[in-house]
Chains A and B, each alone.
Chain A
Amino acid sequence: MPSLSSTVRDLIDDRPAEGIFRVHSRLFTDPALFDLEMKLIFARTWNFLGFEADLSKAHDFVTTSIGRTPVLVTRSKDGEVGAFLNRCPHRGATVCQQEMGSARAFVCPYHAWTFDSAGQLIGMKEKSAGAYPSNFDAMAHGLTPLARVGIYRGLIFGSLSEDVASLEDHLGPMKFFIDLAMDQGSHGMEPIPGRSVYSFRGNWKLQLDNGLDGYHLTTAHASFLEVMMRRRTGQGNTSANSLDFAKNMDARQSAFAFPNGHCALVNELPEDARRPFIDMEEVRSRIPEERARWVDLNYNTLIFPNLQLIQNTALALRIIRPLSPDLTEMHYFCLGAIGEDDDRRAMRLRAFEDFYNAAGLATPDDSAVYEMCQRGLAGGDGQWLQGYMRGVKSLEPGDSERARAFGVRADQSATGSIRSGFETQLHAAYRQWAAMMGDARMEAA
């Protein structure tokens, strides 16, 4: 048990030589740790901000956030993608209230300071009558730009800190998975219109864990499996065309812990379980076979700290947005190929809605168990959690044969079947968590 004098790093019990990996429950409950996460993790690394496809024209914008910091992402009149704090330098009001739209100028509703789509101040009401100090003009009055903005394959990332590696270096092997997703469309991919936003009363890392947890499928989603079983007889909403997980429990599963906190769980399903919304013939005609063959792979990934790219029953992307130690907001996107036909798009949508929607048949069960975890973790000194050791005996340092087949470099790999329900991929995330939270002193519980 961490003592009064210990550091935050001591909350991860990571002893590779003994095969022990435990995470302390305080990671999920402690408000002081939450504040440190915002400062030491979210404010110091690349965060996903949005899709270039949502900013197709000059003056298009979306709003998002990094941790709790509100962010405005725009395409300026010169076509440049920029990201700024969505915070008026005058008194701090959010200058843009909408999630998405198009605007040549953002007029702050409070005192009408006005900014263009490149974040520059273009109007200050009654400036000359303002009797401002003589050095006022020397101050920057525009929206504060993010320290770094980068785009990889249409995904826009930003960092509040200057001191980060290049986006490509940060993503590392995750580029493989982003490429697989983006390669589905000959003109790239887009988030399909329609909000899927919900909250759950639990810590954000409950979603981090669960997004790469295959172990819970046959329990938390037993009711979904029952529905799928009945659909085999032609009853129920068969047109959802969802993946019949129960048929594929013996498919090969690989668990990868990558550098920089990223991780992936990859399932190699048989041919007949591949998703029908991908036009594999078209893909094969466009990109080299050694990449095309993995485009319909089944994967659950985490791009540290809070982006999950998943191809399971549909191709989806989720942003985990921490609001407080025990409240989290989820932004979920179903990805579709730009310009794909109605049939393929409808297939993606029906499968996404069936399983992933907060009004679907699976995600509500995930959210419900997170809330049970949050209730269970409450109180006292907490305890060490044992949910990170499935797969330890299968671990290989570095790349497995499967990692080499996919062409990704891993810090550690495990190979088994879906039944293995690996958890060792999550070591990457918690090691990165410990590295970034580092030597911050920990208050007594």
Chain B
Amino acid sequence: MERVQATAIVRDILEQEAIFLEEKRWDDWLSLYTPDCLYWVPAWRRDGTLCSDPRRELSLIYYASRGGLEDRVIRIRSGQSPAGEQLARTTHLVSNVRLEDAEQSGGMLKARASFATHFYAPKDRKPSICFGNLRVKIVQADAQWRIKEKIVQLQNDYIETFLDVYCL
């Protein structure tokens, strides 16, 4: 596969995810992930370095399957979460998509990208932002490209009130 074409595939799925989150199409969003996906947002250590071992160090979010993402959707849809009572309006920007290595045998693409998500709930009268970069592994499953792994490096980890998957 051409590098240009591979990059376009990654960019397409990341943009698709951004739009599903913006439009709160939760089931479509979930379907972008493989059931055995890794979704990981490592915490920062107090010495300023990033945690690297999720078995021994804290993560902001760590899911070794899509089940954790499903929980999020259940909670949002429950209508019983005060934090989600007025769900934030969000704008998800993704750019700087670069293929990490050209080893694309077996149909896996590895890439990094930068993101900035702006979110705003009217009750708070104040916009917020989360920004950072992410690393993804994309695989072909059921004739579709899906996210097998997503690792998010959140640069601003001083969290204002809450953080959820739709803020990333």
Instruction: List chain A positions with a Cβ less than 8 A from chain B.
Output: 54, 62, 98-101, 192-201, 219-220, 222-224, 226-227, 230-231, 235-240, 334, 342, 345-346, 349-350, 352-353, 357-359, 361, 363-365, 367-369, 371-372
Q: Which residues of A contact B144 (CB under 8 A)?
A: none
B23 near A: Cβ within 8 Å? no
Cβ contact of A365, chosen from B62, B63, B82, cutoff 8 A: B82
Structural contact, A193 and B46, CB atoms closer than 8 A: yes
In B69-117, the 8 Å CB interface with A consists of 70-72, 74-75, 78, 80-85
How many positions in chain B have a CB within 8 Å of any CB in the partner chain? 44
B7 near A: Cβ within 8 Å? no
Q: Can you name 21 A-B residue pairings with CB atoms under 8 Å?
A: A193-B46, A193-B57, A194-B42, A194-B51, A195-B58, A199-B158, A222-B78, A226-B80, A230-B74, A236-B67, A236-B71, A239-B64, A240-B68, A345-B55, A346-B54, A357-B61, A358-B159, A361-B72, A364-B81, A364-B161, A368-B81
Q: Which residues of A contact B67 (CB under 8 A)?
A: 235-239
For the complex, what is the distance from the CA of A372 to the CA of B86, rounded to whole Å? 12
Structural contact, A192 and B161, CB atoms closer than 8 A: no
Structural contact, B45 and A198, CB atoms closer than 8 A: no
Interface majority SS on A: helix, strand, loop or mixed? helix
B36 near A: Cβ within 8 Å? no
Structural contact, B74 and A236, CB atoms closer than 8 A: yes
Structural contact, A98 and B47, CB atoms closer than 8 A: yes
B8 near A: Cβ within 8 Å? no
14 further A-B contacts with Cβ under 8 Å, apart from A353-B58, A357-B60, A365-B82, are A99-B46, A99-B48, A192-B58, A195-B46, A197-B159, A198-B163, A200-B161, A223-B81, A236-B71, A346-B55, A363-B162, A364-B81, A365-B83, A368-B82
Question: Residue on A with the closest CB to B61?
Answer: A359
Known: A99-B46, A236-B71. A365 touches B59 (CB 8 A): no
**In the complex, the 5 A-B pairs of residues with the closest C-beta atoms, listed nearest first:** A194-B58, A364-B162, A194-B43, A237-B68, A100-B46
Structural contact, B62 and A349, CB atoms closer than 8 A: yes
Q: Which residues of B contact A365 (CB under 8 A)?
A: 81-83
Q: Which residues of B contact A349 (CB under 8 A)?
A: 54-59, 62
For the complex, what is the distance from the CA of A230 to the CA of B77, rounded to whole Å? 13
For the complex, what is the distance from the CA of A353 to the CA of B51, rounded to whole Å? 14
Structural contact, A359 and B164, CB atoms closer than 8 A: yes
B160 near A: Cβ within 8 Å? yes
For the complex, what is the distance from the CA of A365 to the CA of B79, rounded to whole Å? 12
For the complex, what is the distance from the CA of A165 to the CA of B50, rounded to whole Å? 40
B10 near A: Cβ within 8 Å? no
Known: A349-B54, A353-B61, A367-B161. A359 touches B68 (CB 8 A): no
Structural contact, A194 and B162, CB atoms closer than 8 A: no
Q: Which residues of B contact A359 (CB under 8 A)?
A: 41, 60-61, 159, 162-164
